[in-house]
Amino acid sequence: MGYKTLQAVLEAGKTAVDIAFFPEDPFALDRLAKARGLVAVVDCGVAPGMSSILAAHAVRKLDKARSIKIYVGGLRTMAKTMDVPNMKEKTLRYPGHIEKMAVLRETGFFNTQEVVVKGTRIRPLDFTAEILFPKWKLKEGEADITVMKIIVEGTKENKPLRISYDLFDRYDERTAVHSMARTTGYTATTAARADAAHQQVLKAAETSAEYFS
The answer to whether 55 touches 152, Cβ cutoff 8 Å, is yes
Q: How confident is the model at residue 211, as a pLDDT?
A: 60
Q: Which of 88, 66, 77 is nearest to 152 (CA)?
A: 66
Task: For 66-102, give the secondary structure using H, E and C.
Answer: EEEEEEECCCCCHHHHCCCCEEEEEECCCCCHHHHHH
Q: What is the pLDDT of residues 168-182, one digit of tens each?
A: 999 998 998 899 889
What stretches of 55-197 adopt beta strand conformation (E)?
Answer: 64-72, 86-91, 115-117, 120-122, 145-156, 159-170
Domains of the chain: which residue ranges? Answer: 43-212
Q: How confident is the model at residue 204, as a pLDDT?
A: 80
Q: How confident is the model at residue 159, as a pLDDT?
A: 96
Show pLDDT as tens, one digit a residue, over the chain (213 residues): 899 999 999 999 999 999 888 889 999 999 999 999 999 999 899 988 999 999 999 999 999 999 999 998 658 788 888 899 999 988 888 889 989 999 999 999 999 999 999 999 999 999 999 999 998 888 877 899 999 999 999 999 999 999 999 999 999 989 988 998 899 999 999 999 998 898 888 788 777 666 655
What is the rounded CA–CA span in Å between residue 43 and residue 79?
Answer: 13
Q: How confident is the model at residue 150, as a pLDDT?
A: 95
Look up the CATH architecture of domain 43-212: 2-Layer Sandwich (3.30)
Strands 120-122 and 145-156, sheet pairing? unpaired
What is the rounded CA–CA span in Å between residue 114 and residue 149?
Answer: 38
